[in-house]
Amino acid sequence: MKIARRLLWYFAFFWVLVLCAGTFFQYYDFKNNSHFLEIKQAAIRTGWYLPAFYCHIIGSSIILIVGFFQFSKWVYNNRPLHKTLGKVYVFGVLFFAAPGAYIMTLFINRGAGVFTSFVIQNTLWVTFTLAAWIYIKNRKIDEHVQMMRRSYALAFAAVTLRFYIWGCMVFGNGVGFKHNYIIIAFLSWVPNLLVVELINYYEKKKAVPANLSR
């Protein structure tokens, strides 16, 4: 079990680095000449899309790195560092990444299903992050940890979304193929949450005997 979790940790960290590095090298110059932004010219002309886009991708890149290390034992046991990074994560989600995502969602032109998926995902992301913050302020550690797992699972959807898009482009018919994108949209975050719920259940079940033996 420990070996599997470690391999999963390295696998996830690799893709987090790939996404964040790719985002930096593609958009750091703010020239707006990427292929993605070229197909969003109508949205950019509204004046709303571009600020939201940069808030989302910059905020998401930071919180993906910060949030990932929050689950390491070294950071978790370093309480001042854990607390500081936690504030960065919560602030980044609630005031940059999630608001930017909401605005970007308004300009999605891939149908009601994809729109609905991203709205639900973003709303759950805000809800879980805010709940985690409230729990830790009330010193409810276990509930805080469970909520942060859920929150990061939805943050990590940025990675899984691009992983599935890459898979479709390489091994399938591309994201433009009928129904592909709506499947990818839900697939990017629903399985993430299911995995976290299994982890939360396993951890809770494992803690019960310890509590009963006291």
- At 14 the pLDDT is 84
Q: Using CA atoms, how far apart are residues 75 and 21, in angstroms rounded to an integer?
A: 22
pLDDT digit of tens for each residue in the chain (214 aa)?
Answer: 567 667 777 778 888 888 888 787 777 777 776 777 888 888 999 999 999 999 999 999 999 999 999 988 889 899 999 999 999 999 999 999 999 999 999 998 888 999 999 999 999 999 999 999 999 999 999 999 999 999 999 999 998 988 888 877 777 665 565 567 888 899 999 999 999 999 899 888 777 554 444 4
And the tokens for 81?
């560092």
Q: What is the 3-state secondary structure (H, E, C) of 1-19?
A: CHHHHHHHHHHHHHHHHHH
Which residues fall within 8 angstroms of residue 125, CB to CB, at 6 or more apart?
93, 98, 101, 151, 154, 155
- At 32 the pLDDT is 74
Q: Using CA atoms, how far apart are residues 139 and 22, in angstroms rounded to an integer?
A: 38
Label residues 44-58 b or e (16+ Cβ within 10 Å = b).
eeeeebbebbebbbb
* Structure letter (DSSP) for residue 72: S
Dihedral sign computed on CA atoms, order 33, 37, 41, 46 = negative
Q: Using CA atoms, how far apart are residues 176 and 161, in angstroms rounded to an integer?
A: 14
Question: Per-domain residue ranges for the chain?
Answer: 2-212
Q: Using CA atoms, how far apart are residues 53 and 170, in angstroms rounded to an integer?
A: 26
Q: What is the 3-state secondary structure (H, E, C) of 159-181?
A: HHHHHHHHHHHHHCCCCCCCCHH
Query: H/E element holding 87?
Result: helix 79-92
| Distance set, CA 148 to CA 64, 90, 161, 178, 182 (Å) | 12, 10, 20, 35, 26
Q: Are 87 and 129 in contact (CB under 8 A)?
A: no
Q: What number of residues does the chain have?
A: 214
Q: What sections of 28-111 are H helices per DSSP?
A: 35-38, 41-44, 49-70, 73-77, 79-92, 98-105
